[in-house]
Every structure is written in C-alpha cells, then in structure tokens.
Amino acid sequence: MNGKELKNKVKSGGIIYGSMLSMGRNPRWSTPISAFGLDYVVIDTEHSPRDRNDIADFLAAFTDSGVVPIVRVPIPDSHYVTMTIDAGAQGVLAPYCETVEEVMEVVAAAKWRPLKGALARKAVETGKLPSEASKKYLEDKNANTVCLIGIESVPAIANLENILKIDGIDGIFVGPNDLSISLGVPDQYDHPDYEEALRKVISTCNKYSVPVLIHHQTVALTTKWLKEGVRFVLHSSDARTLHSGYRTDFDEIKSVGAELGGGPVTDVGESEEVI
C-alpha cells in the first residue's frame, strides 16, 4: 500500500490500522513492524528525540514495505513538512493546529511542494496554480502525500468547521492527552466533557467527509471509538505495545513460578508513556 491507496481505502469507507513509533531508532526496526499487518505507522518527532538523519534512514527502511510511513513533525510549519517529505515520508501529521492560517501553511507544503510563498498560499486559498501544466505536475508529484491535521484543544475544536473548509486535508488527528488537559480533565477519557468533544469532532468531520484518528492507548478505548465512527485507527505505540506484550507473557509465566515456590509476583503495571 502507498499513500494514495491508503487515502482511497478510507475515503471509500474502509478502515485502516496504524500505530505510533515513539521509541525505535534503528532502521532494522522497520522489518518486524512491517510484519504486524499494519497499513501505516506514524513516526514521532514532536516528543521523540529523532533528528533528520534518523528520520531519513527510518523512511528509507520502510520503502517497499507495504506500510505507509507518516511523520509527526514537531510543529505545524511548512519547512518541517517539506523536509520530511523530501526525506521520503508519504505523509505528515501536523500537531496542535488551532487556526486556519496554520493549517493552510501545512496543506500548501504537503500538497503543492515544491511551490512556495505567495503562489503556494494562492493555490490553497483559490485552487489556482501558475498553469494547468503546473497543477498536473504538482498533483502527480504529491499524489502519495497524506496530510493529517492535529486538533488537540478547545480553541481548535471551536475553529474546526473553518479548518475543514480547506481543501487537501486527508484526516483529523486527536491527541487525547493534550485535548483532555485543554478541557480541564487531564487523562480522564471517560469524562462526559471529553467524550462530548470527541463526538463533536467526529460529527463535524463526517459533515465534510474527512476521517478522524484518535490516538488512544488501550484496546477498550480504541474499539469504543471505532464503533463510534473512527475509520482511521491509530492505536498505541511501539514502546507501550512492547511493554504490554512482555507484561502479559511474564505475568503468566511468573504466576506459575510463584506456584512452584519462586517467590511473590509483582505487577509492573501499565506503561506510563504519554505521547
């Protein structure tokens, strides 16, 4: 699957599945990840300490893997967007967008690269390019680019309808930790205010036929919101899933060891990663 096929699948009513890469740095990490049955991965550079070289190597490793690599850039800035795509990303996730101007800058860079400046802004605002030849050339050049916009605060939700009027947005991303803090209910993902906010995002996006991805960390939350209309599934992260897998296996193994006199078993608990 490539970026264009990913967009087509979700637009046609299909469900796509992906996860966040917060920990992995070695390009060899892409080999086991590509065997997990995922449609895409989001490689984080907002909260994870990866530089341009790390990203370029990681993206090269995902070439021809069948998994679409998308990069969460540090801020919604055109330079980060174009650098990431030039490095080989098939998509970008711009975090914490709140204004139409921020989103237009991201969309211009993602959809009309390498056009810049006033002409790129005009392309997003009016759909007009220097010529039909330029338009066709740039559409073909950027056909695989997936553009995801982060709506992660109360002001962003208030402005969501205006943001969704911008052509070129392929999905709306919600970061639960940031949104719940903005709502005044940090990490309370069963709070009525949080659930109401998510339902507003989903219903508004449905109005504009734009899919939603919500980065929940538990199967219960991910499946709950899948049933409520999320078609662009983004579940957990490599670090958290690794933690959960080892915890589950060794809880079972240690319980048998305890029965055999190996000493008491201590539950290591859930992963504390917030990303």
Catalytic residue positions, numbered: 47
What does the DSSP 8-state code read for residue 218?
S
Residue closest to 233 by CA, chosen among 222, 218, 241: 222
Q: Which residues of 227-247 are buried (b: 16+ CB within 10 A; e: fewer)?
A: eeebbbbbbbbbbbbebbeee
- Asked if residue 146 lies in contact with residue 68, where contact means CB atoms within 8 angstroms, the answer is yes
DSSP-derived secondary structure for 220-263: HHHHHHHHTT--EEEEEEHHHHHHHHHHHHHHHHHHHHHHTT--
Burial of residue 65 (number of CB atoms within 10 Å: 0-12, 13-18, 19+): middle
